[in-house]
Structure 1
């Protein structure tokens, strides 16, 4: 990406016994940022410690070099959040298969690779903020947006759904890890009927494919008495055009 895009805003930093407003800068990363980005990503994923959350390979370096795009948020002269998207053939091939797209659409596909945030700045909705910034970069050129999320990663799953994605698949990926497949079409936005919805506990791995195969898509995560559940509704069909008189 040749043009560096950026914006400034204030975030809350949470420390031991205090909360402070800190000026931040969000911008697209360049090759000069590769070392910082790789080190930051490793530190955060090591802190999280659950290999199932980040089981898939990422293409961070390739994305910074141009086979995608990476946005970083900086505060107090250090990187505090990172979002990466990929256009690499391997990731796009996977998305086309998951979303059942025609191969002619591959140049319009973007894969949401990951988003990680420093613990001191969590709670600022940075997954959502960085996604909106990235969407502005992608559209109208890349409008088929694909991502996968572990059913154990409720926080990220909830954030992705709030960004307008819908669950369209559930399968074993990346060496046997359960994943929801999520999709957002920026060109033809989806509208889902919420009346008469179905609710499936996230841990009920066997039933999600059944509901999806029946034509439902997931649109929300909800807390139930027995655990977190995915809410499924049917996509509304476009109304047929009235016949000409």
Structure 2
């Protein structure tokens, strides 16, 4: 067990502050992880917004095929976040993005984050993202391309990815017909976008977003206008692919 963070957070049910500790997780935590995932799924208003990890994927992560961290209040796991190294798996998102076979081997997936309802509103999703990527960087593993999928109208998760400087590179149906953004980030080279090319598109206008993505634009931020969330798109400043 490696402790990555200690602090306090607000329990929304009791309105009291509690001590929290974030640590790396292993196979011994599997039952707690599954319980948290199941609890989160049961309380989703839109069930298709979350793609749960399968037992096979948990096995893969815990057999050196990924990394997982979790937040504890006392002995209770209240949240977790996972990275997965897909390798030759057909679901490697590098395939969706047209990366070469060699580059696909350097892809790491940022998988789901689950936070129990009583502990939402504390910025845990973003905090766990920072902690797991810091841990990942220290391991100096041979992965370069960070990818993930997000349900388009899951605004908190979309914003979470933008805070990490990830870009929307594609929108398509995944997981048996579920619409998803595919986010991408080159961990070795920062993306530079041409601010003169910015276009704003309503978050639910998938067709217009697809057109822009096909024209070489990337989604990079959100904007709120008249109670509506829009996605901001721009082209790379160099004219080359990000």
TM-score normalized with structure 1 length: 0.87
Residues 38 and 60, structure 1, Cα contact 8 Å, conserved in 2: no
What root-mean-square deviation, in Å, do the aligned CA atoms of Structure 1 and Structure 2 show? 2.2
Residues 92 and 111, structure 1, Cα contact 8 Å, conserved in 2: no
Residues 148 and 184, structure 2, Cα contact 8 Å, conserved in 1: yes
Q: 1:45 to 1:27 in 2, by over 3 A?
A: same
* 1:153 equivalent in structure 2: 154
Residues 60 and 84, structure 1, Cα contact 8 Å, conserved in 2: no
What displacement does 1:190 show?
A: 0.8
Q: Does residue 29 of the first structure (1) align with residue 45 of the second (2)?
A: no
The structure that has the greater radius of gyration is: 1
Q: Does residue 165 of the first structure (1) align with residue 166 of the second (2)?
A: yes
What displacement does 1:182 show?
A: 0.4
Judge which range, 98-107 or 75-84, deviates more. 98-107
Residues 91 and 111, structure 1, Cα contact 8 Å, conserved in 2: no
Quote the Cα distance in structure 1 between the aligned partners of 2:98 and 2:210: 15
What per-residue deviation string (whole Å, max 9, x for no partner) do you get for residues 188-240 of structure 1? 1212223341011111111111001111101111112372110001122299x
TM-score normalized with structure 2 length: 0.88
* 1:62 equivalent in structure 2: 60
Residues 13 and 118, structure 2, Cα contact 8 Å, conserved in 1: no
The count of residues paired between Structure 1 and Structure 2 equals 235
Q: Select which of 34, 37, 41 maps to 1:41.
A: 37
Residues 2 and 23, structure 2, Cα contact 8 Å, conserved in 1: yes
Residues 147 and 184, structure 2, Cα contact 8 Å, conserved in 1: yes
Quote the Cα distance in structure 2 between the aligned partners of 1:197 and 1:35: 46
Q: Unpaired runs of 5+ in structure 2?
A: none
* 1:123 equivalent in structure 2: 121
Quote the Cα distance in structure 2 between the aligned partners of 1:10 and 1:160: 23
Residues 223 and 229, structure 2, Cα contact 8 Å, conserved in 1: yes
Residues 220 and 233, structure 2, Cα contact 8 Å, conserved in 1: yes
What displacement does 1:112 show?
A: 1.1
